[in-house]
Amino acid sequence: MSIQQKIESLRDELREHNYNYYILDNPTISDYDFDIKLKELQALEEAHPEFYDADSPTLRVGGEVTKNFNTVVHEHRMYSLDNSYSKEDLLDWEKRIKKMVDGQVNYTCELKYDGASISLTYENGSLLRAVTRGDGTQGDEVTANVKTIKSVPLRLKGDFPQKFDIRGEIVLPFEGFIKMNEERLEAGEEPYRNPRNTASGSLKLQDSAEVARRPLECLLYNITGANLGFDTQFESLKKARQMGFKVPEAATLATSIDEVLEFVEYWDVHRHDLPYETDGVVVKVNSLQQQEELGYTAKSPRWAMAYKFKAEQVSTRLNEITYQVGRTGAITPVANLEPVELAGTTVKRASLHNADQIEKLDIREGDEVFVEKGGEIIPKIIAVDLSQRPIDSQPTKYISHCPECQTELVRQEGDAKHYCPNYNGCNPQIIGRIQHFISRKAMDIEGLGGETVALLVNEGLISNYSDLYTLTKEDVLPLERMAEKSAENLINGIEASKQIPFERVLFAIGIRFVGETVAKKLAKHYKSMDAIMNASEEDLVSVDEIGGRIAESVVEFFSSEENKDIIEKLKQNGLQLQISAEKLANQTDKLKGLSIVVSGVFESVSRTELKKMIEDNGGKVSSSISSKTNYLVAGDKMGPSKLEKAKTLGVEMISENDFINMLK
């Protein structure tokens, strides 16, 4: 088999696995084996850029950065839908239709997926473009981001029309949404409010690699174009499935409005079993011929109607308002409810968000309240049933002191939340911070779990994470359920963590808003904890992608004497507080401000190494040539289109050796 054949066959194989996994939900290979094959393909493609293919499964990992999203006019307008809220509304709609068309009318009933609408254009079986709905006439081109969504086929299967648009909804299933929020909380960031906004926000992220990490899905519902080869909406869905798109199986053909109503009733209940959010049903006249006769109003098709589900609501008693203290000291009021069934689950608690929310709704203990499960995962209280309020009821007095350490709370201007400022003396904050410190993505201390941390703090053995490094086996042995072996593992795990690289230590120490990615950027720029500690706010914001909020938080963290002492103790104990000598030796500012494109095959270094050298020396690697490109490092077998473009734009081309000499 030639290299080209090998590459092609790996691509086909990986495409098929993607299809099995993301469309059919039926993987036939382990994730591990998939990764091995993907890596193999990546390596081959890297060594042989002459076989580049814009549809390769390797491009799913993203990497392209879009600074400005181009506005694109939709070739076929993206309409809204008329809404209905009752059986009567649907019957009225049926009457109107029957007046306008002859003969039997059938309907396709679909779920109304709640996410961000998208229009995908395919040409000759490949994804050409992805555009958001925008105002319906024109939207933003988000192709690079959409390509990373695994259920969007990059190459179609079977027969397909030469060119068409397919519309769908990009959703973020609950499971992935919850996971993303857990990670945000871990980094001390505010969780996202609901899956829908998170999905549409994702499409406009500049870094497609970040989009690739989000578990988005694309569900399709409409094909538009000429010579499509089907006559009904229901067939079109089948066709879309055959081409490799994800079209939920719930879609049903109804031969009467009664059957439509059955569909609505069924899904009003069962939608809660779906892995993603829906906010209703869409009913469409099935025959495309009849659709054409019915046509459009200024804003929506006459042949379709959305039926909106009522948000589920119940009323129950609010027994007590309690207050939780998070790792960052943020106070969250929690409504403890009389347990009640709502949307298939028993609800006992609801978030009250903050003091303003309580005041706005005038929520009081003892009230009968209406609880709703809307887009948010955690149910919320939407109103108080004032008619049921006990006569002796008193307005809620928001706590003024921390429920855990009795320190007076503070609330900064512009901040909705109250905070406990007792950073070093408030137990849940101390424990939370140490738990974050030892977590997998931070110091990854083996043999030490969250509960043991709480135990160590409560027993007075440690009061911050630097104390971990002076613990001895004798200290921990008396703890509950601590055997000789586990004590040893714990101490060994702590010892081993001293080798964790600087960027992860920087993430672990828990500066607010300094998540994994920011920590990496800061580590790369400043190279040592000392340099970061001495950086001013102005200095910090001048670093690429570091904003004012982060800068302020970093400066505040290091302005605390206590924090400085803790960092000093980490240093004394031999943690990595600067990037390793080996890494440092290879890093300079020689290419600062330069945008460089790499293309072709190289002799003395691989493309990956070349790119790393550019980044290590302060340059920016960019994937496509533009007027802003400073250099094109041209290797052997460079693509002709890149060459052409570099020539027209007058971009300076240099060889591999020229480049290496630049660094000397």
CB–CB of 217/149 below 8 Å?
yes
Single-letter amino acid code for the residue at 208: S
Which CB, 425 or 493, lies closer to Zn ion? 425
Which one, 260 or 355, has the nearer CB to ligand AMP?
260
What backbone phi and psi angles, to 5 degrees, belong to 351?
Answer: -80, 140
* Least distance to ligand AMP, CB of residue 81, Å: 4
Q: Which does 112 bind (CB under 5 to 8 A by kind): Zn ion, ligand AMP, none?
A: ligand AMP
Q: Cβ 274 to ligand AMP, closest distance in Å? A: 12
Task: Pick between residue 117 and residue 563 the one whose CB is nearest to ligand AMP.
Answer: 117
Q: Of 334 and 662, which has the nearer Cβ to Zn ion? A: 334
Give the three-state DSSP class for 640: helix
Q: Which does 405 bind (CB under 5 to 8 A by kind): ligand AMP, Zn ion, none?
A: Zn ion
**Using CA atoms, how far apart are residues 233 and 255, in angstroms rounded to an integer?**
13
Size of the site for Zn ion (CB under 5 A): 7
Task: Please identify, using beta-carbon distances, which residue of 184 and 308 lies nearer to ligand AMP.
Answer: 308
Q: Strand pairing partners for 121?
A: 129, 165
Q: Does the annotation mark 112 as catalytic?
A: yes
Q: From CA 433, how far away is CA 327, in angstroms rounded?
A: 6
CB of 117 to ligand AMP, least distance (A): 3
User: 202 with 142: CB under 8 angstroms?
Assistant: no
- In the complex, minimum distance from the CB of residue 633 to Zn ion, in angstroms, rounded to a whole number: 55
Token reading at 297: 């109003």
Of residues 272 and 520, the one with the C-beta less far from ligand AMP: 272
Buried b / exposed e over 92-118, threshold 16 CB at 10 Å, is ebbeebeeebeeebbbbbbbbbbbbbb
List binders of Zn ion among 514-543 (CB under 5 A).
none
> Please, what's the b/e burial string for 464-492 (b: 16 or more CB within 10 A of its CB; e: otherwise)?
bbbbbbebeeebbeeeeeeeeebbeebbe
- Using CA atoms, how far residue 196 sits from 24, 216, 279, in Å, is 23, 11, 11
The smaller minimum CB distance to ligand AMP, of residues 166 and 566, is found at: 166
221 binds, among Zn ion, ligand AMP, none (CB under 5 to 8 A by kind): ligand AMP
Contact of residue 367 among Zn ion, ligand AMP, none (CB under 5-8 Å per partner type): none
Q: Dump the DSSP string for 305-319.
A: EEEEPPPEEEEEEEE
Chosen from ligand AMP, Zn ion, none, partner binding at 426 (C-beta under 5 to 8 Å by type): Zn ion
Strands 331-342 and 345-351: antiparallel
Contact 248, 276 (CB under 8 A): no
Rounded to whole angstroms, the Cα distance separating 102 from 507 reads 67
Report which DSSP code applies to 190. Answer: P
| 282, interface contact from Zn ion, ligand AMP, none, CB < 5-8 Å by kind | ligand AMP
Query: CA of 491: how far to CAs of 470, 485, 487, in Å?
Result: 10, 10, 6
Q: Which of 182, 457, 430 is nearest to 326 (CA)?
A: 430
402 binds, among ligand AMP, Zn ion, none (CB under 5 to 8 A by kind): Zn ion
The pair of three-digit structure tokens given for residue 646, joined into one six-digit string: 């570099």
Kindly report the backbone phi and psi dihedral angles of residue 526, in degrees, each rounded to the nearest multiple of 5, phi listed first.
Answer: -95, -25
* Nearest residue (CB) to Zn ion, 120 versus 402: 402
For 596, other C-beta atoms within 10 Å of its C-beta total 24
Nearest approach, Cβ of residue 308 and ligand AMP (Å): 8
Question: What's the start-to-end Cα distance of the chain, in Å?
Answer: 41
Residue 204: DSSP 8-state: T
Reduce the secondary structure of 366-384 to three states and give it as a string: CCEEEEEECCCCCCEEEEE
What is the rounded CA–CA span in Å between residue 487 and residue 461?
14
Which of ligand AMP, Zn ion, none is residue 437 near (CB under 5 to 8 Å by kind)?
none
Cβ 282 to ligand AMP, closest distance in Å?
4
In the complex, minimum distance from the CB of residue 418 to Zn ion, in angstroms, rounded to a whole number: 11
Residue 276 or residue 526: which is nearer to ligand AMP going by CB? Answer: 276
Q: How far is the CB of 198 from ligand AMP (least distance, A)?
A: 16
Dihedral of alpha carbons 141, 143, 149, 154, sign? positive
Cβ burial, residue 243 (10 Å; 0-12/13-18/19+): buried
Catalytic residue among 37, 112, 473, 485: 112
CB of 107 to ligand AMP, least distance (A): 12
Which residue lies nearer to ligand AMP by CB, 268 or 537? 268
**Residues between 398 and 437 with contacts to Zn ion, criterion CB under 5 A:** 402, 404-405, 407, 420, 422, 426
Q: Report the nearest approach of ligand AMP to the CB of residue 222 (Å).
A: 6
Which does residue 113 bind out of ligand AMP, Zn ion, none, counting CB within 5 to 8 angstroms by kind? ligand AMP
- Which of Zn ion, ligand AMP, none sits in contact with 165, Cβ below 5 to 8 A by type? none
Task: Report what 404 binds from Zn ion, ligand AMP, none; CB cut-off 5-8 Å by kind.
Answer: Zn ion
Give which of Zn ion, ligand AMP, none residue 45 binds (C-beta under 5 to 8 Å, depending on kind).
none
- Residue (220 or 591) nearer to ligand AMP, CB: 220
Residue 613 backbone phi and psi in degrees, to 5? -60, -40
Integer Cα distance of 489 and 121 in angstroms: 56
Instruction: For residue 312, state whether it binds Zn ion (rule: CB under 5 A).
Output: no
Burial of 189-211, coded b for 16+ CB within 10 Å and e otherwise, reads eebbeebbebbbebbebebbeeb
H or E element: which one contains 638?
none
Q: Which residues bind ligand AMP (CB under 6 A)?
A: 80-81, 110, 112-113, 117, 133, 169, 221, 282, 306
Residue 110 Cβ vs ligand AMP, minimum distance, rounded to whole Å: 4
- Name the strand (E) or helix (H) holding 169: strand 163-171
Nearest approach, Cβ of residue 152 and ligand AMP (Å) = 15
Q: Whose Cβ is closer to ligand AMP: residue 81's or residue 285's?
A: 81
Binding site for Zn ion (CB under 5 A): 402, 404-405, 407, 420, 422, 426
Active centre residues (catalytic): 112
